[in-house]
């Protein structure tokens, strides 16, 4: 029956049963360790997994961690299992690196590909070797060409090389006058008066009957050849000027100047004497023309073309009066006109200071086409000099 006595009896009975059991606490979760690349093979083995589980279930150790690092998985496996050999990830690494250093050394100590395997094949080269008996290359092929054609006819670039080649026409020894000029002494005399290149061109023209080199443009031609025009605007008037200009053939025979344009270049310092001198000899020139030719002129550097223009008016180029002034010549009218024409006598020297101005006589020229070309050449003096040199 319920009552105070029954409750007192229940308490000792409960004490006799012992203390009540507490509910066990959940075990801590094992800490997952991330294995490195070198120990990935040992972690996957069953012996390593059991050791990791036992080690994680012990909980925190009461002793502090030692300063030395924990043993690696490889050393643990080798100490616990003496029959297990450690796995070498890089088997033969030392031998491989040694061989690579030997192959990659520069310069190589020996040939990578042995020559014995390819000794039966002959060596090939991009160009065949020259044999000892091969003929040498001619020196003429190694030099720049001395003739070129810009489209208006062949031009002589090197007069000395041209005269020494087989392309030059031989002297016309059957002609008495050409035979006299063909002497080398005449060339030496001309070189003392004119520049060397101009002197050689004049000597070539006077010692050949038909072969010519233009002293102004250095075009190579023969008397009677139809030459292309120098200026582009002359092609438009080709139908109107079908016939050659008058006195052109005569001027080509006297001085070798191939065209009216080249004659204007040669007479650049004497613009007033262009029309009266074109295609005429000394006996055909009047006193006013000689006064212009003997005057100072414009004194531009014309490469000796002005002097060549005056010398070619005489049959002997005036060399007789120039080199033999004390020698008496014939007193006929032609000889006197030649002496006056060259300006080598006393009269030419005295009248030289009284020569008329070239610009004053220019208005007397009747041909407007020649005057237009002359004015254009005056404005283009800087361009005219390279043309003369070429």
**Res. 385: pLDDT tops 50:** no
The pLDDT value recorded for residue 196 is: 94
**Res. 146: pLDDT tops 60:** yes
Is residue 160 in some structural domain? yes
Q: What is the mean pLDDT of the segment spanning 256-278?
A: 91
The pLDDT value recorded for residue 29 is: 59
Report helix angle 333-342 to 287-294, nearest 10: 30
State the pLDDT confidence band at 320, using cuts at 50, 70 and 90: confident
Q: What is the pLDDT of residues 52-87, one digit of tens each?
A: 444 444 445 555 555 555 555 444 444 445 455 554
Is residue 6 in some structural domain? no
State the pLDDT confidence band at 378, using cuts at 50, 70 and 90: very low
Is residue 153 in some structural domain? yes
The pLDDT value recorded for residue 350 is: 38
Q: Which of 35-49, 193-207, 243-257 has the lowest mean pLDDT?
A: 35-49
Q: What is the pLDDT of residues 336-365, one digit of tens each?
A: 444 444 443 333 333 333 333 333 333 333
* Neighbouring C-beta atoms of residue 46, cutoff 10 Å: 7
pTM above 0.75, yes or no: no
**Res. 135: pLDDT tops 50:** yes
The pLDDT value recorded for residue 349 is: 33
Average pLDDT, the chain: 68
Is residue 379 in some structural domain? yes
Q: What is the pLDDT of residues 277-310, one digit of tens each?
A: 999 998 999 999 988 888 877 777 888 899 999 9
Is residue 306 in some structural domain? yes
Is residue 171 in some structural domain? yes
Is residue 89 in some structural domain? no
Domain holding 155, by residue range, is 145-226+245-389
Q: What is the mean pLDDT of the segment spanning 205-233?
A: 87
Q: How many domains does the chain have?
A: 1
State the pLDDT confidence band at 388, using cuts at 50, 70 and 90: very low
State the pLDDT confidence band at 225, using cuts at 50, 70 and 90: confident
Is residue 37 in some structural domain? no
């Amino acid at each position: 029956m319920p009552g105070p006595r029954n409750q007192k009896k229940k308490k000792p009975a409960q004490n006799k049963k012992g203390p009540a059991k507490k509910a066990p606490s959940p075990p801590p979760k094992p800490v997952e360790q991330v294995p490195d690349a070198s120990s990935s093979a040992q972690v996957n083995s069953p012996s390593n997994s059991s050791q990791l589980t036992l080690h994680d279930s012990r909980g925190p150790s009461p002793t502090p961690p030692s300063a030395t690092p924990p043993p690696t998985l490889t050393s643990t496996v080798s100490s616990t299992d003496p029959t297990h050999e450690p796995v070498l990830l890089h088997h033969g690494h030392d031998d491989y690196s040694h061989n690579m250093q030997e192959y990659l050394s520069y310069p190589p100590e020996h040939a990578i590909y042995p020559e014995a395997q390819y000794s039966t094949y002959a060596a090939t080269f991009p160009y065949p070797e020259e044999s000892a008996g091969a003929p040498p290359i001619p020196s003429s092929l190694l030099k720049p060409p001395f003739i070129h054609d810009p489209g208006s006819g062949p031009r002589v670039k090197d007069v000395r090389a041209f005269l020494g080649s087989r392309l030059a026409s031989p002297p016309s020894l059957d002609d008495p006058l050409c035979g006299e000029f063909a002497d080398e002494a005449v060339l030496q005399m001309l070189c003392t008066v004119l520049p060397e290149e101009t002197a050689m061109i004049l000597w070539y023209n006077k010692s050949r009957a038909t072969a010519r080199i233009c002293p102004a443009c250095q075009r190579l031609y023969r008397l009677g050849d139809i030459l292309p025009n120098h200026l582009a605007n002359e092609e438009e008037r080709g139908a109107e000027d079908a016939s050659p200009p008058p006195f052109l053939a005569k001027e080509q025979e006297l001085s070798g100047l191939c065209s009216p344009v080249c004659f204007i270049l040669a007479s650049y310092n004497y613009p007033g004497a262009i029309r009266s001198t074109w295609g005429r000899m000394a006996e055909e020139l009047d006193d006013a023309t000689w006064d212009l030719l003997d005057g100072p002129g414009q004194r531009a550097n014309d490469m000796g073309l002005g002097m060549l223009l005056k010398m070619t008016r005489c049959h002997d180029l005036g060399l007789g009066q120039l080199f033999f002034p004390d020698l008496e010549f014939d007193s006929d009218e032609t000889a006197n006109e030649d002496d006056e024409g060259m300006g080598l006598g006393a009269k030419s020297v005295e009248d030289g200071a009284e020569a008329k101005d070239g610009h004053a006589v220019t208005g007397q020229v009747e041909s407007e086409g020649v005057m237009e070309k002359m004015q254009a050449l005056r404005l283009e003096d800087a361009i005219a000099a390279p043309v003369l040199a070429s």
